[in-house]
Amino acid sequence: MSLVLGIETSCDDTSVAVLEDGARLRSHLIAAQDMHELYGGVVPELAARAHVELLPRLVCHALEAAEAAPAELTGIAVTRAPGLVGSLVVGVAFAKAYAYALGIPIAGVNHVEAHLHSATLEHGESPWPALCLVVSGGHTELVQVAGFGRYRWLGSTRDDAAGEAYDKVAKRLGLGFPGGPAIDRLAVEGDPSAFSFPRPMLDQPGFDFSFSGLKTAVAQTIDRRGAPPYAAELVRDVAASFQAAMVETLVGRTMAALDRTRARALSLGGGVACNRGLRQALVVQCAARDLPLRIPSPRFCADNAAMIALVGSWMLAAKRAGGSDLEVVASLEESGLADNTLPA
Ligand code: KG4
Ligand code: ZN
């Protein structure tokens, strides 16, 4: 039996999971750090300090909830890249020390790779090749996946990530942080055709995204109405029109990539995959193509240690574990994950 402790501290959520045999989640805790709301965004220094406070306690709680003794653990999986350096360092330093004390191996997991596979926690193994869309506060990635470790990067955002655009538009509307859930809630009450915002890059070849133009178009529309607070009806209509543009762009690119790659399934990951408009649109499109759609529950879309434990379990089983030399890497590019291992 394998029993892997998963640790995620790449951004502002501290999360710990205990996963048995790469499939049975024995415990899973996520502590969101609410203080960032006060600053309208994640403050890296504060996030790192909060991880220091929360992580040791969460590990104790997670082991208790899993009814597992530390000595029963067979390995530790920890997010090593990409993310906020100060936050990553806390998780990796803790994981190294704990693994050393217990005499067990440690796997340094790539956070984006974990998002690529998070749907497996609930849906089981995917048919290959699959297409995966990771949409979060830090990433917008469209990836062809032929199995664990076999990826071809089709597209990324050239500027803002999808979640970042949600958060910035929400801030302009005075909706607080993080803004994605608030816009998603308001969008169903507003008129999606009230404003005609751009659908960026849909008319261009390739699979890259760009959201800064959309964000600016929304900002200009709001600016013309003066300073906040805005009328509730305006906020609802801007939210609905922005969400319509965002969903149409993400879905349009994804469907084109599905056709190109002849994928046998579509998986989603990342916080924006919680978005109801996006989920509904993809359900309709995938049903029309008779294609399996693998969307994780909201808990597994957002940052979570269960997906880290899952990928870490595979790495440990494949003896792709590191040791005390494990180092953190801030960017996806430098992490090496997006260097294609699948031929075109
Ligand atoms: O994956 P995640 O928890 O953290 C990162 O790795 O970034 O994603 C957080 C992002 C935030 O930008 C948040 O606004 C967005 O996901 N988000 C949503 C929704 N729920 C969370 N965006 C749109 N609609 C939602 N329902
Ligand atoms: Zn994430």
Q: Which of 111-125, 250-264, 285-299, 315-329 has the lowest mean pLDDT?
A: 315-329
Q: Highest mean pLDDT: which of 38-42, 170-174, 225-229?
A: 170-174
Q: Which of 88-97, 173-182, 317-326 has the lowest mean pLDDT?
A: 317-326
Cα(65) to centroid of ligand 1, in Å? 27
Nearest CA to ligand 1 atom 21: 271
pLDDT of residue 76: 98
Alpha-carbon distance 78 to 326, whole Å?
Answer: 10
pLDDT-derived band at 342 (thresholds 50, 70, 90) equals confident
Ligand 1 atom with the smallest distance to the CA of 301 is: 1
Q: Highest mean pLDDT: which of 66-80, 224-238, 318-332?
A: 66-80
For residue range 18-47, list pLDDT tens digits in order. 999 999 999 999 998 888 988 888 999 999
pLDDT of residue 263: 97
Rounded average pLDDT over 184-195: 98
Ligand 1 atom with the smallest distance to the CA of 10 is: 6
Cα(75) to centroid of ligand 1, in Å? 29
Ligand 1 atom with the smallest distance to the CA of 270 is: 1
For residue range 54-83, list pLDDT tens digits in order. 999 999 999 999 999 999 999 999 999 999
Rounded average pLDDT over 304-320: 95
Residue 243 scores a pLDDT above 90: yes
Cα(302) to centroid of ligand 2, in Å? 6
Rounded average pLDDT over 312-323: 87
Rounded average pLDDT over 204-228: 94
Residue of 136, 168, 246 with the most ligand 1 atoms within 8 Å of its CB, for mutation:
136
Residue of 8, 272, 279 with the most ligand 1 atoms within 8 Å of its CB, for mutation:
272
Rounded average pLDDT over 188-211: 95
Q: Which of 34-43, 179-188, 189-198 has the lowest mean pLDDT?
A: 34-43
Residue of 15, 134, 166 with the most ligand 1 atoms within 8 Å of its CB, for mutation:
166
Cα(7) to centroid of ligand 1, in Å? 19
Quote the DSSP letter at residue 82.
S
Q: Which H or E run includes 143?
A: strand 140-147
pLDDT of residue 37: 87
Residue 325 scores a pLDDT above 90: no
Residue 91 scores a pLDDT above 90: yes
Nearest CA to ligand 1 atom 16: 271
Top pLDDT among 226 and 143 is at 143
**Ligand 1 neighbours by CB, cut-off 6 Å:** 11, 136-138, 163, 166-167, 178-181, 184, 270-272, 274-275, 302-303
Cα(317) to centroid of ligand 1, in Å? 31
Nearest CA to ligand 1 atom 22: 180
CB atoms within 10 A of CB 338: 19
